[in-house]
Amino acid sequence: MKMKNIKFFSPEENQEKATRAEKGKQLPGGRITSAGRIVFPTATLEELALDTNTRFQVGTDQGKRKIKNLYLVPTSEESGFQLVRMGRGYSLPLELILSKNGIDYAAQEYVFTVSIFMYEDAPAYHLAVSTKEPKPAYTGKPRGRKPKASNPDETE
């Protein structure tokens, strides 16, 4: 009988590599409620090591009509926004700011992802706001060159 070539696996090959887990890791995030509150789940607060008593200055990109990025910079001033306890998480009430800057939170669902950046030698938080629904496919006029006709009947 002829010897078979068999490949055997080790238990280490059945475990996911650490580099794959880091690449697929989701950024912490939250959502914007239909009442105009930015909601941070407790898991997001723990992952970012956010203190619930911290006050924030809230800002956005200058010169933009619609909010796509929000920036939360911790401040010691009393005029800053403070996180408010809401259900199982915390929220920032920003109803008027969001509605005046193009976020229709009542009609559409918005989510955001949070990343940390340095602002004046202190950690601050960048919220990338996007809609929950994917962008609809383009159904307008096709652009570019017209495809060449490939009819077998036509000979030149």
pLDDT along the chain (156 residues), means of 10: 65 63 60 87 84 84 84 84 85 85 85 87 86 79 82 61
Cα–Cα distance between 122 and 83 in angstroms, integer? Answer: 19
Q: Which two tokens stand for residue 80?
A: 């800053």
As a whole number of angstroms, the distance between CA 79 and CA 118 comes to: 21
Q: What is the pTM of this model?
A: 0.66
Distance in angstroms (rounded) separating the CA atoms of residues 25 and 43: 14
Q: What is the pLDDT of residues 5-17, one digit of tens each?
A: 666 666 776 666 6
The answer to whether the CB of 30 falls within 8 A of the CB of 129 is no
pLDDT of residue 20: 45
List the end-to-end C-alpha distance of the chain, in Å, as a whole number. 64
Which residues pair with residue 112 across a beta bridge? 30, 129
Give Rg (Cα) of the chain.
Answer: 25
* Domain locations in the chain as residue ranges: 24-131
Mean of per-residue pLDDT scores for the chain = 79
Closest CA to 59 of 48, 51, 47, 71: 71
Structure token pair of residue 121: 């030698």
Q: What percentage of residues in the chain have a pLDDT greater than 70?
A: 81
| pLDDT tens-digit map of 128-150 | 888 877 777 888 887 888 888 87
Please report the pLDDT score of residue 23 as a whole number. 46
